[in-house]
């Protein structure tokens, strides 16, 4: 039916298709067309956020106007959840108000997400024991069952429902090979915001620190997200209320803007989008912009804004102990400081 040259082309095509679909962690065909569209993610995230925004973590209250939070990046969890467990434990031990994770939290296999879910559930239980009152009762089958009472809100939580303040953004490895379905099963929204209530003045003006979580996993924010930003998705609450004032704005995203060194990967944002973002962060009067992706540390100041690119906390990338996390301390007087936080977990194979 086919001539010899045609057979050759068909064989080459089949070989190319096999090669392009055989890779486990990456999707080479994605160089041309993505299998997960950022605009679709934003539509889903926006809808989830609008329904659940009050359940997320709006208006966390800083203790006496002062608080800390912990940031990590690129855990790339597979079978060993050691580093992820360590990050969560550090936050519980040191009473951080919340965690932010900058994406690439796990490689995209169902068993890795099951492991991740187990580690997060374990942390929820520890968090519940520390911050809530455990209440144990005998269930219908006469087994002891523990739930947790938030004595402030008088809400009871099952372990799985404990609102552990763990807030991730999505990274490119989270969504390759259709990983978005796995990621959303745990975290739901890749584009959202929150506030920390830090105090009020004599005039009744409430001061808030604003937390902005962006979906930059595709190396672009995409049209939907840009449109939402330009429609003041992150500003409306504040613009429409004279009694609310922003003190600090913290921005969390996956894709790095700056290149740590000539031997590291450059940003995947286009040149124009880079300039757009730098200007937007300036308009938002951001204090610190966090990113990951490149698995290397970088810090710099641009127009009074601190840009921190975090090294990977992944055991595979950095098996030895190191300062992979960042803790930010927002103080009562409005000043900020940050420090790198050491992780000591070392994989058994090391």
Partner 1 sequence: MMKGIRQWVFVATLVCCLANEGWAQTYNGIHKYDGTHQNVVTSYMMLGDNIICDTYFGVAASYTRHLTDRWHVGGDMQAQMGKQFYSVDVQGGYRLPVKWMDFYLDGKLIYNRYNLWGTNEVMANLSLTWETPYFNFRIGETYIHYHMLHFGYTEPLTLALGAGVNIRPRWDSWNIGLFARNYDDFYYEAYNINWGVNFWANLMKDVQLFGELNLRPAGSLSQLATEYEKSLKLGLKYVW
Note the residues at the interface with partner 1 (CB under 8 A). Answer: 26-28, 30-34, 36-39, 172, 175-176, 217-223, 226, 255, 258-259, 261-262, 265-273, 275-276, 278-279, 282, 301-303
Terminal Cα-to-Cα distance of the chain (whole angstroms): 58
Nearer to partner 1 by C-beta: 231 or 346?
A: 231
Least gap, CB of 176 to partner 1 (angstroms): 5
Q: Which tokens go with 140?
A: 């219908």
Q: CA 273 to CA 42: how far, in whole Å?
A: 17
Task: Map tokens 């942390």 to a residue.
Answer: 123
Q: In this structure, are residues 338 and 325 in contact, taking their beta carbons and an 8 Å threshold?
A: no
Beta bridge partners of 244: 206
Nearer to partner 1 by C-beta: 310 or 341?
A: 310
Least gap, CB of 166 to partner 1 (angstroms): 24
Q: In this structure, are residues 170 and 254 in contact, taking their beta carbons and an 8 Å threshold?
A: yes
Q: Which tokens go with 115?
A: 């492991």
Q: In degrees, to the nearest 5, what angle opens at C-alpha 151 toward C-alphas 149 and 153?
A: 95
Least gap, CB of 259 to partner 1 (angstroms): 6
**What percentage of the chain's residues is helix, strand, coil (to nearest 5)?**
35, 25, 40
Least gap, CB of 261 to partner 1 (angstroms): 7
Nearer to partner 1 by C-beta: 21 or 241?
A: 21
Nearer to partner 1 by C-beta: 118 or 223?
A: 223
Q: CA 274 to CA 280: how far, in whole Å?
A: 10
Query: Quick one: which of 341, 349, 347, 348 has its CA closest to 73?
Result: 341
Task: Map tokens 């929820």 to a residue.
Answer: 124
Residue 190, Cβ neighbours under 10 Å: how many?
Answer: 30
Least gap, CB of 104 to partner 1 (angstroms): 10
Least gap, CB of 76 to partner 1 (angstroms): 14
Q: In this structure, are residues 13 and 158 in contact, taking their beta carbons and an 8 Å threshold?
A: no
Nearer to partner 1 by C-beta: 165 or 253?
A: 253
Nearer to partner 1 by C-beta: 252 or 258?
A: 258
Least gap, CB of 267 to partner 1 (angstroms): 7
Nearer to partner 1 by C-beta: 79 or 270?
A: 270
Residue 166 has phi, psi (to 5 degrees) of: -110, 115
Least gap, CB of 295 to partner 1 (angstroms): 13
Nearer to partner 1 by C-beta: 32 or 138?
A: 32
Least gap, CB of 180 to partner 1 (angstroms): 11
Nearer to partner 1 by C-beta: 121 or 220?
A: 220
Long-range pairs, 50-59, Cβ under 8 A, ≥24 = 52/188, 52/189, 53/192, 55/163, 56/167, 56/189, 56/192, 56/194, 57/98, 57/163, 57/165, 57/167, 57/194, 58/194, 58/195, 59/195, 59/196, 59/197, 59/208
């Amino acid at each position: 039916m086919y001539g010899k040259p045609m057979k050759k082309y068909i064989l080459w095509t089949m070989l190319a298709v096999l090669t392009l679909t055989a890779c486990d962690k990456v999707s080479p065909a994605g160089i041309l067309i993505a299998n997960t569209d950022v605009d679709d993610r934003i539509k889903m995230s926006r809808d989830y956020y609008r329904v659940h925004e009050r359940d997320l973590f709006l208006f966390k209250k800083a203790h006496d106007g002062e608080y800390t939070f912990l940031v990590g990046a690129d855990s790339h969890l597979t079978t060993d959840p050691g580093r992820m467990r360590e990050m969560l434990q550090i936050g519980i031990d040191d009473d951080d108000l919340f965690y932010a994770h900058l994406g690439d939290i796990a490689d995209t296999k169902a068993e890795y997400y099951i492991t991740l879910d187990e580690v997060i559930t374990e942390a929820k239980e520890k968090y519940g024991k520390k911050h809530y009152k455990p209440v144990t009762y005998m269930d219908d089958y006469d087994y002891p069952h523990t739930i947790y009472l938030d004595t402030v809100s008088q809400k009871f939580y099952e372990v799985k429902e404990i609102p552990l303040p763990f807030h991730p953004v999505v990274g490119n490895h989270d969504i390759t090979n259709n990983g978005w379905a796995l990621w959303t099963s745990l975290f739901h929204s890749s584009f959202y915001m929150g506030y920390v209530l830090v105090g009020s003045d004599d005039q009744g003006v409430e001061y808030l620190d604003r937390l902005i979580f962006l979906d930059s996993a595709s190396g672009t924010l995409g049209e939907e997200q840009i449109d939402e930003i330009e429609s003041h998705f992150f500003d409306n609450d504040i613009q429409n209320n004279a009694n609310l004032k922003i003190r600090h704005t913290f921005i969390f995203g996956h894709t790095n803007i700056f290149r740590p060194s000539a031997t590291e990967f450059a940003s995947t944002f286009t040149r124009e989008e880079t300039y757009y973002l730098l200007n937007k962060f300036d308009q938002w009067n951001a204090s610190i912009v966090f990113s990951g992706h490149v698995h290397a540390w970088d810090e710099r100041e641009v127009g009074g804004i601190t840009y921190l690119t975090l090294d990977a906390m992944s055991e595979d990338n950095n098996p030895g102990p190191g300062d992979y996390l960042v803790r930010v301390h927002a103080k009562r007087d409005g000043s900020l400081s940050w420090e790198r936080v050491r992780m000591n977990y070392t994989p058994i194979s090391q």
